[in-house]
Structure 1
Amino acid sequence: MKINILNKNYWKTIPFLGLMVVSMLFTACENNESVGGGEIIISKVYLEDVNSSVQDREVTFARLGQLLRIEGSGFTGLKKVYINGLSTYFNPVYISKNSMLISVSGETPIVEATEDVRNTIRFVNDNHEALISFEIRSSAPTITNISNTLPLPGETVTVYGTGLTEVRKVTFPGNIEVTTGITDGDEGKSFTVVVPNGVSPDGGSLFIECSNGGAYSPAYFNFKKGLLLNFDGTGSHGFWGASTSMIQDVDLESASIGAENVSQGKYVAHRPARITSFAAATNRDSEVWTGGGDWRALLTSYIPATTPLGEVALQFDIYVPTAWKNSGFLKVCLINNFNGGEWAGGVYNYVPWLVDGKVVPFQTAGWTTVTIPLNKFYRFADADYTFEDVLAFREAATYSNFGLFFENSDIKLKDVTGVDSDIEFPSATTSVNVYTDNWRIVSLKTPTFSDFPE
Structure 2
Amino acid sequence: MKKLYYKLRINALGLLLISFVLGMVLNSCKDDDDALNASMQITAVYLENADSDVPDRQVEFARLGQLLRIEGHGFTGLKKVYINGYSCYFNPVLVSDNSFIVSVNKNVPTTEADPSVRNTIQLVKDSGSYIYNFTIRAAAPTITGISNCMPNPGEPIIIYGVGLEEVTKVTFPGGVVVTDGIISDEEGEYCQLNMPTGVSDEGGSLFVEGANGGAYSANYFNYKQGLLLNFDDAGSQGSWGSSSSMITAEDLESAVIGEGNTSQGNYCRIPLAKQLPISAGKNRIAEVWTAGNGVDPDWSTLGISAETPVSECGVQFEIYVPNEWSGSGFLKICCQNGFNGGEWERDCYNYVPWIVDGEEVPFVTTGWQTVTIPFSEFYKSKASSDAWTTFADVQATHAAASYCNFGFYFENSDVKLSNVTGNANDETEFASQAISNLEIYIDNWRIVPIQTPAYSDFPEDDSETTPAE
TM range (shorter): 0.7 to 0.9
**Secondary structure, counterpart of 2:370 in structure 1:** strand
CA contact (8 A) 2:111 2:165 kept: no
| Residue in 1 that maps onto 2:200 | 200
Cα RMSD of the aligned pairs, angstroms, is 4.2
Structure 1 position 158 matched with structure 2 position 161: no
**Secondary structure, counterpart of 1:274 in structure 2:** helix
Structure 1 position 296 matched with structure 2 position 302: no
| Residue in 2 that maps onto 1:189 | 189
Structure 1 position 438 matched with structure 2 position 439: no
Alignment of 1:197-236 (within 5 A): 197-236=197-236
1:134 to 1:153, Cα distance in 2 relative to 1, 3 A: closer
1:415 to 1:50, Cα distance in 2 relative to 1, 3 A: farther
| CA distance, structure 2, for counterparts of residue 119 and residue 339 of structure 1 | 62
**Secondary structure, counterpart of 1:304 in structure 2:** coil
Deviation for aligned residue 1:136: 0.9
Structure 1 position 247 matched with structure 2 position 252: no
Q: Which amino acid aligns with 2:324?
A: A
* 1:98-148 CA-partner distances (Å, limit 9, x unpaired): 9988764543211344567543457899xx999865321233333322211
1:91 to 1:250, Cα distance in 2 relative to 1, 3 A: farther
* 1:143-162 CA-partner distances (Å, limit 9, x unpaired): 32221111112222222223
CA contact (8 A) 2:46 2:57 kept: yes
**Secondary structure, counterpart of 1:447 in structure 2:** coil
Q: Which amino acid aligns with 2:192?
A: T
Q: Which amino acid aligns with 1:428?
A: Q
| CA distance, structure 2, for counterparts of residue 181 and residue 120 of structure 1 | 29
Q: Which amino acid aligns with 2:393?
A: D
Q: Which moved more, 1:361-370 or 1:142-151?
A: 142-151
Deviation for aligned residue 1:79: 11
Give percent identity, aligned residues only. Answer: 53
* 1:257-280 CA-partner distances (Å, limit 9, x unpaired): 212221112211111122122211
1:105 to 1:195, Cα distance in 2 relative to 1, 3 A: same
| Residue in 1 that maps onto 2:60 | 60
For structure 2, the residue ranges without an aligned partner over 5 or more in a row are 29-39, 461-469
- Using the size of structure 1 for normalisation, the TM-score is 0.80
| Residue in 2 that maps onto 1:176 | 176
1:389 to 1:51, Cα distance in 2 relative to 1, 3 A: farther
CA contact (8 A) 2:300 2:306 kept: no
How many residue pairs are counted as aligned between the two chains? 441
Deviation for aligned residue 1:329: 1.0
| CA distance, structure 2, for counterparts of residue 339 and residue 26 of structure 1 | 97
| CA distance, structure 2, for counterparts of residue 341 and residue 275 of structure 1 | 18
Deviation for aligned residue 1:199: 2.3
Deviation for aligned residue 1:23: 9.2
CA contact (8 A) 1:230 1:437 kept: yes
Q: Which moved more, 1:232-241 or 1:108-117?
A: 108-117
CA contact (8 A) 1:183 1:192 kept: yes
1:55 to 1:204, Cα distance in 2 relative to 1, 3 A: farther
Structure 1 position 426 matched with structure 2 position 431: yes
| CA distance, structure 2, for counterparts of residue 329 and residue 49 of structure 1 | 50
| Residue in 1 that maps onto 2:324 | 323
- Using the size of structure 2 for normalisation, the TM-score is 0.78
For structure 1, the residue ranges without an aligned partner over 5 or more in a row are 28-39
| CA distance, structure 2, for counterparts of residue 225 and residue 417 of structure 1 | 31
